[in-house]
Chain A
Amino acid sequence: MSETTILNKKDMVTAKSSVSVLFAGDSGDGMQLTGTQFANTVAVYGSDLNTFPNFPSEIRPPAGTISGVSGFQLQFGTAGVYTPGAKFDVMIAMNAAALKANLKNLHHGGIIIADTDGFDARNLTLSGYGEANNPLEDGTLKDYTVFSIPVISLTRKALADTGLSTKFIDRCKNMFVLGVLYWLYSLPIETTIETLQTKFRNKQDIADANIKAVQAGYNFGDETEMFSQHGRFSVAPADKKPGVYRRVTGNEASAIGLAAAAKKAGLELFLGSYPITPASEILQTLAGMKKFGVKTFQAEDEIAGVLTSIGAAYAGALAATNTSGPGLALKSEGLGLAVILEIPLVIINVMRGGPSTGLPTKPEQSDLLMAMYGRHGDAPMPVIAAKSPVDCFYAAYEAAKIAVEYMTPVLCLTDGYLALSSEPMLVPSPDALASITPVFSPARKADDPAYLPYKRDERGVRQWAIPGTPGLEHRIGGLEKHHETGNVSHDPENHALMTKMRAEKVARVAEIVPDLTIDNGPEKGDLLVLGWGSTYGAIKKAVEQALDGGCSVAHAHLRYINPFPKNLREIMGNYKKVLIPENNCGQLLSLIRDKFLCEPVGFSKVQGLPFNEMEIEAKITDILKEL
């Protein structure tokens, strides 16, 4: 973080490596759209980027109150942006409630850009500050840098000659704020202008008014004396791999990953699904992908979601179902059927706080043991986890590959944090994606020997025999079946054999699981931080900082939880201690202990909130002190 001082204070520009920004306002204020505009600008500018929306849990909460505050958080920077940021450097507070709700997460000394028009008597009362206690004026914010701007008034002034109604002009206030921010962070306004022009293609007056508001905000930054004390900031673009990028949330990435897998495999994608927070966007995204031949089936319940998918898989589609914890519980009987039928199926479970309805809008990693064991009978299936929004694409894709190539259901875990966070994704070329090769049983003639639907190849995998193929007519079901003919069998030896073969097949997936690698840090040392899923960003940052501080610590992150990578034991053995941070009460910890009979240190956080890097770094320091 070098500082460049130029003589004229107004033109002083401080370079920063990364900045975390929160847009906060009333849920009617359009904070998500404003934040998205800003995100698009920094993305096109070439920054690393990670965004996270924070909606109120009610659909239409009372305006002006704390429960009505909607936030959009993002971090952009030159390097090292893995999370939306544990705390923000800058907060845009469109009203008093937005300030009150979020102040605790603003860095000490951070910047507040407040719309003074949202701090009138009414807003102060509704926010709980009280009419007489305006925090912008009473010294509450003395530890922060506060820029109080009468945004509504200035927007009205700037758009006075447009002839538009006041109601409409007021809606442009966010664009004014964006303009101010672009000035403050030395960012171009062109991306937003282009977006507005495209968005309001058929409403030129609206496009013009919004563009005018952005420009007015930018000019305000230039002209006002307000910033002369501090100057502006700049964040250099990241050194990103050249190519075409798109911005995706985890849920969008999961959806695209499934659709891409279907294309690669030459199969039709079928998604049977029932709406559930925070997984519904996967269904929504795929429902809008009919152009690519995707079929979505909004089922009557979670059970039908998985059963329609099992039907589609039996019929030869790449079938998937998506859900969150409560839905996974309902699907568990169906998953057992998929296990015994040995058909390909992808289940994407977007974890949220539990048990029961729990914290529907908050992330947690507490479905891991259910994913591993939550079925009656011995019913193992591969379990994999995504570590970032973009990684949801690759996790879904890999889940589909394993499902199709091993004829098994595969559980792919993401969570509410990844689901809604977004980051730039380098668009891969179709050729760069791993092959997915379904093996269909070919048609047979009348004098061919009898068809054996459960005959396996050397990996223990049966072939996919789909209806419509002459000569393969066969009857299978949830009853235990003979190990070759698939006919119902209650034979004790056969059941033991089939149980063993189903388990071995899943275990053999380890043959294609890449070795676990050290993400960061020394190959041998004092401490290994072993993570899985959405803790990736926070662990990555924490380990980076601990390494900077001279600690002997490394980070490895598990994609495959069942089966584990073959070298996991060896990797863990290279460190004196292993730390496993998880947003649950120690579920991976149990799995590792059980499998390797070792004693890693667990670190739980179950507050419906992701870890932040400070917490993990502090834990690393504590453990190293005791070594």
Chain B
Amino acid sequence: MTDTLAQLTAKDFTSHQEPKWCPGCGDFAVLQQLKNAMADLGLKTEEVVVVSGIGCSSRLPYYIATYGVHGIHGRAMAMASGIKTARPELSVWVGTGDGDALSIGGNHYIHTVRRNLDLNVILFNNEIYGLTKGQYSPTSKVGLRTVTSPNGVVDHPINTVALTLGAGGTFVARVMDRDGKFMRDIFKRAAEHKGTSVVEIYQNCPIFNDGAFDAFSSKERKADTTIYLEQGKPLVFGLDNRKGIRLDGFTPVMVNLDDASVSQDDLWVHDEKDFIKANILSRFFDDPDTMQNALPRPFGIFYVEDRITYEDALTAQIDSAQERGEGTFEELLTGSSTWTIS
């Protein structure tokens, strides 16, 4: 509950329910940073609604001391859309997973993204179905052996960032569960963005898909396999940032800054407003475990666009229809064409 004067802390956003996630689950870190971000944003607990579908991560609403609804599988985006359309002044957050958002809820996902309601979507991607005990998900890597793919997954996985850009997303970001501070900042940017903000989180499931993101998170490999996007900064990575990305036409090329013929000025400078470049970045999706010279996986904000939100456009239509006052109850009942019998 909110005391209107004092800025709330993460503790104020902590509900009385103990999280029921497995020890070591990446979800804990996300929950903590989410609460931190909400506090940093100066939100009040009563104005926040956290909506989720079904899955491990969709337990999220129970652990945050705001309003929360835990809906049905795949439908969090639709439910959140209804809440936001009815009450645009609320701060609406969606907690969803790779199965929830991209498989059973895939249709709602793409349509919500294109409508651009002002929602903050936290998409926990652990590349597995955890709650149902370890079946592969639409983001699982080809070849992954699970209970439903004993010989290895044959489906091609979804690239969340590319899908979201394709659907017309206006804020698209990716983070890792281990990057606490970085994640917290991106949550804040997502909340400040007016429109549907999607933050994909690479979230480790130690029980059913442990190490799925080790290639990007392990100390030894991280430098070469990841690239952190910063607005207005060149794309650099590798040990001591001695590697970079140069754009050759539309083709990204990895270069070595130790190479005398390459200068910092040749590098691709990140511009989160550049739709074409964001699309190219979204295709940095190589698997470093199976590919030589894989492009580094980008983390951070890929793309931001200012576009009118669904609810603002609808409100504008209602305002214009009511320019000469809201229709009265009598008018509603009478309609435009009547006759009188006396």
Interface residues of A (CB under 8 A from B): 40, 43-44, 46, 240-248, 256, 259-260, 263-264, 268, 270, 272, 289-293, 295, 297, 299-301, 303-304, 307-317, 319, 333-334, 336-337, 341, 427-430, 444-446, 466-479, 487-488
Instruction: Check A293/B78 contact, CB under 8 A, given A247-B337, A475-B62, A477-B61.
Output: no
A334 close to B66 (CB less than 8 A): no
**Size class of the B contact interface (CB-based, 8 Å):** 35 or more
**25 contacting pairs across A/B (C-beta < 8 A):** A43-B339, A44-B339, A46-B341, A240-B341, A242-B341, A245-B340, A256-B335, A292-B332, A295-B86, A297-B82, A308-B78, A310-B79, A311-B86, A315-B49, A315-B82, A315-B87, A334-B75, A427-B334, A444-B1, A466-B87, A467-B49, A467-B90, A468-B89, A475-B64, A477-B62
The 10 closest A-B pairs by CB, nearest first: A311-B82, A477-B70, A308-B82, A307-B78, A475-B68, A290-B321, A300-B111, A312-B86, A304-B78, A311-B79
The distance in angstroms between the C-alpha atoms of A311 and B68, with both chains bound, is 11
Name the distance in Å between A99's Cβ and chain B's nearest Cβ: 32
Question: In the assembled complex, which residues on chain A have CB atoms less than 8 Å from the CB atom of B339?
Answer: 43-44, 244-245
- Which listed residue, A244, A264, A313, A333, touches B340 by the CB 8 Å rule? A244
The distance in angstroms between the C-alpha atoms of A253 and B82, with both chains bound, is 24
Question: In the assembled complex, which residues on chain A have CB atoms less than 8 Å from the CB atom of B289?
Answer: none
Q: Pick from A300, A446, A471 the residue with the most CB of B within 10 Å.
A: A300
Instruction: Check A468/B85 contact, CB under 8 A, given A245-B338, A475-B69.
Output: no
Q: Which residue of B is nearest A475, CB measured? A: B68
Say yes or no: is B17 at the interface (Cβ < 8 Å to chain A).
Answer: yes
Q: Which residue of A is nearest B70, CB measured? A: A477
Interface string of B67-95 (1 = CB under 8 A from A): 11111100100111111111101100000
A246 close to B335 (CB less than 8 A): yes
Name the distance in Å between B119's Cβ and chain A's nearest Cβ: 11
The distance in angstroms between the C-alpha atoms of A299 and B51, with both chains bound, is 18
A474 close to B82 (CB less than 8 A): no
Q: Which residue of A is nearest B114, CB measured? A: A300
Q: Which residue of B is nearest A474, CB measured? A: B67
The distance in angstroms between the C-alpha atoms of A42 and B3, with both chains bound, is 65
Instruction: Check A478/B87 contact, CB under 8 A, given A244-B340, A427-B334, A473-B65.
Output: no
Name the distance in Å between B82's Cβ and chain A's nearest Cβ: 3
A260 close to B46 (CB less than 8 A): no
Q: Pick from A336, A471, A473 the residue with the most CB of B within 10 Å.
A: A473
The distance in angstroms between the C-alpha atoms of A339 and B332, with both chains bound, is 30
Question: In the assembled complex, which residues on chain B have CB atoms less than 8 Å from the CB atom of A470?
Answer: 1-2, 44, 46
Question: In the assembled complex, which residues on chain A have CB atoms less than 8 Å from the CB atom of B110?
Answer: 300
Interface residues of B (CB under 8 A from A): 1-3, 15, 17, 44-52, 54, 61-62, 64-72, 75, 78-87, 89-90, 107-108, 110-111, 314, 317-318, 321-322, 326-327, 329-335, 337-342
The distance in angstroms between the C-alpha atoms of A469 and B87, with both chains bound, is 12
- Which listed residue, A247, A307, A316, touches B75 by the CB 8 Å rule? A307
Question: In the assembled complex, which residues on chain A have CB atoms less than 8 Å from the CB atom of B337?
Answer: 40, 246-247
Question: In the assembled complex, which residues on chain B have CB atoms less than 8 Å from the CB atom of A299?
Answer: 78, 111
The distance in angstroms between the C-alpha atoms of A549 and B39, with both chains bound, is 79
- Which listed residue, B48, B54, B80, B326, touches A292 by the CB 8 Å rule? B326
Instruction: Check A308/B79 contact, CB under 8 A, given A260-B332, A289-B332.
Output: yes
B1 close to A473 (CB less than 8 A): yes
The distance in angstroms between the C-alpha atoms of A467 and B2, with both chains bound, is 13
Q: Pick from B80, B83, B331 the residue with the most CB of A within 10 Å.
A: B83
B70 close to A308 (CB less than 8 A): no
Name the distance in Å between A409's Cβ and chain B's nearest Cβ: 14
The distance in angstroms between the C-alpha atoms of A290 and B2, with both chains bound, is 35
A468 close to B87 (CB less than 8 A): yes
Given A293-B322, A475-B70: 15 more A-B contacts, CB < 8 Å: A244-B334, A244-B338, A248-B335, A260-B332, A272-B82, A292-B326, A295-B314, A307-B79, A308-B79, A312-B82, A319-B86, A429-B333, A467-B49, A470-B1, A488-B17
B85 close to A308 (CB less than 8 A): yes
Q: Which residue of A is nearest B334, CB measured? A: A427
Instruction: Check A241/B70 contact, CB under 8 A, given A291-B321, A312-B86, A468-B89.
Output: no
Question: In the assembled complex, which residues on chain B have CB atoms less than 8 Å from the CB atom of A243?
Answer: 340-341
Question: In the assembled complex, which residues on chain A have CB atoms less than 8 Å from the CB atom of B81?
Answer: 297, 304, 308, 311
Name the distance in Å between B162's Cβ and chain A's nearest Cβ: 20
Name the distance in Å between B188's Cβ and chain A's nearest Cβ: 21
Instruction: Check A307/B326 contact, CB under 8 A, given A240-B341, A291-B321, A467-B47.
Output: no
- Which listed residue, A259, A300, A479, touches B332 by the CB 8 Å rule? A259
Name the distance in Å between B302's Cβ and chain A's nearest Cβ: 24
A477 close to B69 (CB less than 8 A): yes
Question: In the assembled complex, which residues on chain B have CB atoms less than 8 Å from the CB atom of A337?
Answer: 71-72
A427 close to B3 (CB less than 8 A): no
Question: In the assembled complex, which residues on chain A have CB atoms less than 8 Å from the CB atom of B75?
Answer: 303-304, 307, 334
